[in-house]
Structure 1
């Protein structure tokens, strides 16, 4: 049994849901259920478990309310989804699969509609540099996009036209799925909540976990789920493509969209190898990202997991894990700090708005000179949202993180992989404890109190700022910081050289 290094209540939840899924995942429809996926951000099971909330099963009226909300939302959005097919056909965006190809490489990744619109083109910010290597090697490839996100057909049409104009090779769901598949999606909408309720009724355990699971499964019935199931249908169509061999390089967060895609692929011919790429930094408290070997028999786990660093390889796993290129962190291996001009306090605002507001509110209560503060927002959470609470006089920057890090003395943020990057460069980090229901800080106990530490309030923040400023001016302490930084870099990152990309993803054959 794989040891992912999770302990206590987190391990209890992981093991409980893993055991439950041995029954649940026999029903392909339940692969789309967010509660069963272990994702702590798409449902409240983990938060409620950690807070020991009292699970009360809803009465019949509440169940009916959930079902009514589900069907209304699903039918409305299904109508919008059908309009996406209409604008796709009008756009004339297509990918022609050559039936004589020996190998086709599909890159399964997110297409951020806002960025495509803003730039007028698509640039891969997930698998940075992969496209160039494939073209250099003469490989035939196409993107399998997950469009994120819009409910506006006109915006999606504009995106399709931009992709066509710039000759981006994309094999979309709108090309893959047939009228029969749309009928299957409609049937899924009708049947899915019934299957969930049957599953809830068949949970016989009388434990706290089982009661909470039943309550959360019913509470989550109000959310639409058919788009996840569409990925299962896409997988089946990909498996039927006329091509000798297919290699899927998939951005793997082990979400419901991933499980469905892989399941669909596995129901076809055995000609597709799935690489589940995890070239990103994450906290192991985000349980869904951890590949569950007990789920492999259901066909929902990649053939090979490619992780960013050795820290993410579990002990005693029957699954195929390998360290591979950290695509988005190439600059980490060439970046250098401007030691003579390190005077700035860099504030990295996290993805979650509540945590970003918490950091800024704490800053406003401190006595840090604002002229030394640089605020950088998360790409998905613009600073305009927080302009009223950003300290007056602080500089707001949209520059590249490594450019900002050059003159950074200390970095302040909440749980984010970018904090690991800062530590790996030798920049002390203060992690502000999040206001979410659980802590998803990716930093390790190793180095705590030396190169990083956690603050809960203003007093903690001011104390740690003074501590780290003192350490940076002490030769012995600075040497200790550099040694820890080197260890972090080796544990969490792998240089994305052409050689490593080609070797790990089998592009040399």
Structure 2
């Protein structure tokens, strides 16, 4: 039996269910360990990949759970013949453990020296690309945009906002905000844009679009300098010199495993650089005569969020701050699900955290009871509370929406199930890519498997979801939205490791189906043509009430005050 423990690789069906159980059971131990290794660490640690706990890109939690899985398999006498890993440090530590316990298991790494060489080259390219990009970005802003620094502003509200190629002049985060506040409050609001995934050739026109939009922006680029860029880029060197003390947990020394990740710049180097620039921006903003009433962070507790909150806690300690979690968090995505006491003690959290429904409060406080968690409006999901006109579609075909998650690998695996529809023309297939990914990736994939009976849509969810019959997806808030609209929901199991379901555990499992990739999607949909038993409108209404707070006076007061 072969056990493949490489990060983001397919785990054998013999082990995947146990791996997911072990991952869930390992969370408490992982945070005991994380708290230990994070004591007295410098800022470069907190703005690095392993400290992010963003386990879609950081392999630390995966490696921690993989080692626990191996120990359980040994205990249950289900020892595999071969273990495949992609980390030399993991191989070394497991080999030590096996030798100390007289266990014989072969461990291999495919193409280690070739991959090691490729990684070193990629690291250099990433560093040089960031250097070039940041310098050109600053030059374009200073010489072609030429915006004066804002001054003499009193009691403003600063709101964090990401700008993606598909969402430059289109609202993604705070839909309905301006429509539900007074003109005085609108006048108080200034957005701080973080440009993400914008090509260097598109920087100028992106800035121009933002300048001529209805929103008021304060640009970070106005408040940092070339020396700020150099200091931020040198995070590349500083993080490699971080000392990891006391990283032994359950007979395994994780020191070199963490060091290995700190030396991999394909993971979150952009986030590290942007984080240091954000802190420089806030530091220099303090030197102006601007007075701030409140700062609001779009809060996923990632590296850039930590930098945002650290900066405002340090340079504007008396200003009220809110971390707005405007999404249904993914259950096993560690940074999104949980904040930690150690993060609060080191000033990386806002003063309050806002969730979009009372059903999220208890889990959000699991490892941090001291940061208040309040209920704020579910801005992006307010359409769920609005009455919709009923109309009959002319088309006889049933509509299936494939809502793709942020990870390309899982999205491709979800789309691979379209082969099951090869000989059927009774369905209209809609594909909605995640806004951070390129449509062409999926169009080219479907072309490669010769599936052409589909259309790609980038319309807002509220314009698509009410009119579909079936929903197929993975890690996305849309799955919970679909349940609240009474749609037939199918969640595709992630065989590349941990399942990142966004449907809370307390939701009745009769309201959705789980599809394993070995099963036939077409057959499942055919058997799903009638509503699932025991589903009623009252139950769906209670779910909506618990997880999607409407925009009302109380929730808006929590957001602004």
Give the TM bin, normalised by the shorter chain: 0.7 to 0.9
* Equivalent-residue separation in structure 1 for 2:482 and 2:410 (angstroms): 19
The answer to whether structure 1 residue 327 and structure 2 residue 379 are counterparts is yes
The answer to whether structure 1 residue 39 and structure 2 residue 86 are counterparts is no
Pick from 296, 301, 306 the counterpart of residue 354 of structure 2. Answer: 306
Match of 1:384 in 2: 443
What are the superposed Cα offsets for residues 473-503 of structure 1, whole Å, 9 maximum, x if unpaired?
A: xxxx3x6243432232122111134x34540
* Equivalent-residue separation in structure 1 for 2:509 and 2:361 (angstroms): 26
* Equivalent-residue separation in structure 2 for 1:450 and 1:204 (angstroms): 43
Match of 2:469 in 1: 409
Pick from 434, 454, 461 the counterpart of residue 514 of structure 2. Answer: 454
Offset of 1:329 from its aligned partner?
0.9
* Equivalent-residue separation in structure 2 for 1:309 and 1:390 (angstroms): 42
Cα root mean square deviation, aligned: 3.2
1:108-507 alignment, distance < 5 Å: 108-116=160-168, 122-132=169-179, 133=181, 135-137=183-185, 139-152=187-200, 154-166=201-213, 168-185=215-232, 187-194=234-241, 196=242, 199-200=243-244, 202-203=245-246, 205=248, 207=250, 210-211=253-254, 214-223=256-265, 224=269, 225-289=272-336, 290-314=338-362, 317-334=369-386, 336=388, 338=390, 343-366=398-421, 369-378=424-433, 379-381=435-437, 382=439, 383-388=442-447, 389=449, 391-457=451-517, 459=519, 461-462=521-522, 464-471=524-531, 477=533, 480-497=535-552, 499-500=553-554, 502-506=556-560
SS in 1 for 2:530: helix
* Equivalent-residue separation in structure 1 for 2:229 and 2:504 (angstroms): 46
Relative to structure 1, the CA distance from residue 340 to residue 450 in structure 2 (aligned partners, 3 Å threshold; closer, same or farther) is farther
* Equivalent-residue separation in structure 1 for 2:459 and 2:184 (angstroms): 30
Q: More displaced, 347-356 or 103-112?
A: 347-356
What are the superposed Cα offsets for residues 195-235 of structure 1, whole Å, 9 maximum, x if unpaired?
A: x2xx13x3352646642x53143234131333322222223
8 Å CA contact 1:50–1:438 kept in 2: the answer is no
* Equivalent-residue separation in structure 2 for 1:157 and 1:491 (angstroms): 43
The answer to whether structure 1 residue 97 and structure 2 residue 140 are counterparts is no
Match of 1:51 in 2: 66
Q: More displaced, 65-74 or 277-286?
A: 65-74
Relative to structure 1, the CA distance from residue 239 to residue 131 in structure 2 (aligned partners, 3 Å threshold; closer, same or farther) is farther
* Equivalent-residue separation in structure 2 for 1:411 and 1:31 (angstroms): 38
* Equivalent-residue separation in structure 2 for 1:338 and 1:390 (angstroms): 36
Match of 2:29 in 1: 12
Relative to structure 1, the CA distance from residue 345 to residue 9 in structure 2 (aligned partners, 3 Å threshold; closer, same or farther) is same
- Structure 1 stretches of 4+ with a deviation exceeding 6 A read 61-68
* Equivalent-residue separation in structure 1 for 2:451 and 2:121 (angstroms): 45
Relative to structure 1, the CA distance from residue 83 to residue 363 in structure 2 (aligned partners, 3 Å threshold; closer, same or farther) is closer
* Equivalent-residue separation in structure 1 for 2:264 and 2:359 (angstroms): 38
Match of 2:132 in 1: 79
8 Å CA contact 2:429–2:453 kept in 1: the answer is no
Offset of 1:422 from its aligned partner?
0.4
* Equivalent-residue separation in structure 2 for 1:92 and 1:367 (angstroms): 51
Q: How many corresponding residue pairs?
A: 481
Offset of 1:128 from its aligned partner?
1.6
Match of 2:39 in 1: 22
Match of 2:3 in 1: none
8 Å CA contact 1:14–1:287 kept in 2: the answer is no
Q: Which structure 1 residue ranges, 5 or more long, are not aligned?
A: 1-5, 117-121
Offset of 1:300 from its aligned partner?
0.4
